[in-house]
Amino acid sequence: MNQNGPVILIEDDADDQFLFEQVFTKLNYPNQVRYFPDGQEALEYLLSTTELPFLILSDINMPA
């Protein structure tokens, strides 16, 4: 596990992204957060980088 890697957040709702950002800021979370609007874009990113994420959070209620 790469504890210094970014958090990957897959979320299509801007309000929910804002909420996550507020939480990470309030917790003074040091890791970078990368936002993706859908799983396909996140997967393409993960396959194209050597960077290992610390955590991946995904909305499970997104349109197909």
Show me where the domains of the chain are located.
7-50
Residues in CB range of 1: below 8 A, 6 or more apart: 54
Rg over CA atoms, the chain: 12
Percent of the chain with pLDDT over 70: 97
> What pLDDT, on a 0 to 100 scale, did the predictor assign at position 60?
87
Distant-in-sequence contacts of 45-52, Cβ < 8 A, 24+ apart? 45/8, 46/8, 51/5, 51/6, 52/2, 52/5
Among positive and negative, which fits the CA dihedral 59, 44, 1, 6? Answer: negative
With 0.75 as the threshold, say if the pTM is over it.
yes
Band (54; pLDDT cuts 50, 70, 90): very high
> What pLDDT, on a 0 to 100 scale, did the predictor assign at position 61?
83
